[in-house]
Amino acid sequence: MASSKTAQVLSKFTSSVQDGEEYTSKDLVKLLEAAYKSVNGGRRKAPDAEKKAPSAYNLFIKTEIEKIKGEKLEGVEPKDYMKLAAQRWKENKEKA
């Protein structure tokens, strides 16, 4: 048996699909997402869910990327900042 919200989503979805009209799978996905968002307010997590604290890796990477930006290394493009920061994490981890 479908939950009340699931039934509401299905009802909105089926009412948005018109008889005799042909839809691509992408069109149907968009219609289903719109129905879901209208019922659930676009939320996928519980409204009272707490945000998880960042890990040591996340904190290191964030600060390291800022350092890398400040160093203005020659030949290092912004898309390579993460690779360089991860490499530094690995080096620091091996030292410890």
Integer Cα distance of 64 and 76 in angstroms: 14
Residue 1 confidence class, pLDDT cut points 50, 70, 90: very low
| SS percent in the chain: helix, strand, coil, step 5 | 65, 0, 35
Q: Is pLDDT at 2 greater than 70 in this prediction?
A: no
Per residue in 40-73, pLDDT (tens digit) is 776 666 666 788 899 999 999 999 999 988 888 8
Chain-centroid distance of CA 26 in Å reads 20
16 touches 35 (CB < 8 A): yes
Integer Cα distance of 39 and 54 in angstroms: 31
Total-model pTM:
0.48
Per-residue pLDDT averaged across 18-34, rounded?
A: 89
Q: Is the dihedral of CA 20, 25, 30, 33 positive or negative?
A: positive
Q: Which residues contact 60 (CB under 8 A, 6 or more apart)?
A: 85, 89, 92
